[in-house]
Structure 1
Amino acid sequence: MSSILPVPDKQTILTRLSEGSYDAFLYDCDGTLADNMGAHKASYSAAATMCGFELDDAIIDELAGWPIIQVAEEIRKRYNGNFDPAAFAQLKNKLYESNFINETKPIEFVVAHLKAHVGKVRIAVVSGGSRPSVSKTLQLLGISKLVEVLVCAGETPRGKPYPDPFLSAAEKLGVDPTKCLVFEDGTPGVQAAEAAGMRWIRIDHA
């Protein structure tokens, strides 16, 4: 199930697309609820510069939703880098949280959709970001208290595009995976939702 939403009243369209007998809505964070992909790209690029190479940040769009450590491993592989992926991921996180996270803005129609469904369905956020970073982002968006379950990078055996994070969220909510609807902006997240047996809506906030 996919949709591009380039119409004026995106929240209305998103609400209509999400109608059905769902027990839970599972939202990605970065690029779905939060307009912060530019900030993430900047922090990856800054980390790469500090490690001695120039990063083409298109890779961040390609791997959107992957745990940061896995993105770092893929960057090392493609750039034949001489750096420790764990250290790179820590540096990226430090740069993001100290220099860029406060640039976060809401993707208004998705945040409004979440708020409108609190109490109607169970709500979870499933992200490839670190828990401190995602928690801070949800606070900046003013929705941290509305999210019942948060699943972040490193908290399941495998991250997106594998189904583990979404299945973990469904288990924590006590909801059948087939009764979950996923909201995602990245291909890995869509692949993870499909692998989990969940329906999905792809968010295009351009």
Structure 2
Amino acid sequence: MNGASILRKKQTILTELSNGDFDAFLYDCDGTLADNMEGHKASYRAAALMYGFELDDTIIDELAGWPIIQVAEEIRKKYGASFKPEVFAQLKNMLYEDTFIQDTKPIDFVVAHLKAHVGKVHIGVVSGGGRVSVSRTLQQLGITKHVEVLVCAGDTSRGKPYPDPFLYAAESLGIAPSRCLVFEDGNPGVQAAIAAGMHWIRIDQV
């Protein structure tokens, strides 16, 4: 099966899985709409090297969807490093935006799914990333104009795996959580969707 056939098959599966009486689709960004996790991992590794240690980036997969400051705090605790999480997060974001963001590619079948449902349901993006980084990523994917609400790190007091970001998105759209379908690639995001009382799909299992 060639690449085009695989893409069509995944698009078909995702469309079938998302059939239902929903009022809003809420997409994670990094790793769900955007094929950019290697860039994020590289920026975390580069930031760690600047603090004098080599980072095992599997922790980034484990905490996918967490706000960057909280990921930085987990890294600090794991490695016994002496940095302030907010400073590490700022450094990581700067490295990503200056060096790696231009390598962002779409996860084609998810982006196609979003575009196919514009005007049929409300569209939101709920991310643990910073607003500048996520906004630039959506611009690169060419979907900024389709996103009605964007929730990023810092918009709620608690991030994923807590339900707060998804509940905030639903409230902003004026839609009941039970009428929302979440698209996620990480366990923390799925846990947040469940806690919010929303339906969900793991796109990395499609």
Task: Give the 5 Å matches for 1:78-157.
Answer: 78-157=78-157
Change (3 A) 1:58 1:127: same
How far 1:85 sits from its partner (Å)? 0.7
Structure 1 Cα separation of the partners of residues 199 and 120 of structure 2? 18
Deviations 1:48-83 (A, max 9, x none): 000110000000000000000000000001111111
- The aligned runs of 1:46-65 (5 Å cut-off) are 46-65=46-65
Return the TM-score normalized by structure 1.
0.96
Q: Distance in 2 between matches of 1:72 and 1:52?
A: 15
The CA deviation at 1:203 is 1.0
Contact 2:8 2:109 in 1 (8 A): no
Q: Post-superposition shift, 1:152?
A: 0.1
Runs of 4+ displaced beyond 2 Å: none
- Gaps of at least 5 residues in structure 1 are 1-5
Distance (whole Å) between structure 2 residues aligned to residue 56 and residue 128 of structure 1: 20
Q: Secondary structure of 1:9's match?
A: helix
Which aligned pairs between 1:4-83 and structure 2 lie closer than 5 A? Answer: 9-83=9-83
CA distance change for structure 1 residues 146 and 8 in 2, over 3 Å: closer, same or farther?
closer
Give the Cα separation in 1 of the matches to 2:30 and 2:205. Answer: 12
After superposition, give the CA deviation of every residue in 1:83-124 in whole Å (9 maximum; x if it has no partner): 111110000000000000000000000000000000000000
Distance 1:103 1:195 in 2: 33
Structure that is richer in helix per residue: 2
Query: 1:200 is paired with a residue of what secondary structure?
Result: strand
Shift of 1:204: 1.1
Q: Which residue of 1 aligns with 2:203?
A: 203
Q: Which amino acid aligns with 1:38?
A: E
Amino acid at match of 1:47: A
Unaligned segments of structure 2, at least 5 residues: 1-5
Q: Is the 8 A contact 1:107 1:205 kept in 2?
A: no
Identity %: 76
Distance in structure 2 (CA, Å) of the matches to 1:142 and 1:87:
30
Q: Which amino acid is the alignment partner of residue 169 of structure 1? A: A
- Residues 105 and 166 of structure 1: CA distance in aligned 2, closer, same or farther (over 3 Å): same
**Structure 1 residue 7: Cα displacement:** 7.9
Secondary structure class of the residue paired with 1:38? helix
Equivalent AA in structure 1 for residue 71 of structure 2: V
Distance in structure 1 (CA, Å) of the matches to 2:99 and 2:77:
27
- Secondary structure of the 1:204 match is helix
Question: Which SS does the other structure have where 1:139 is aligned?
Answer: helix
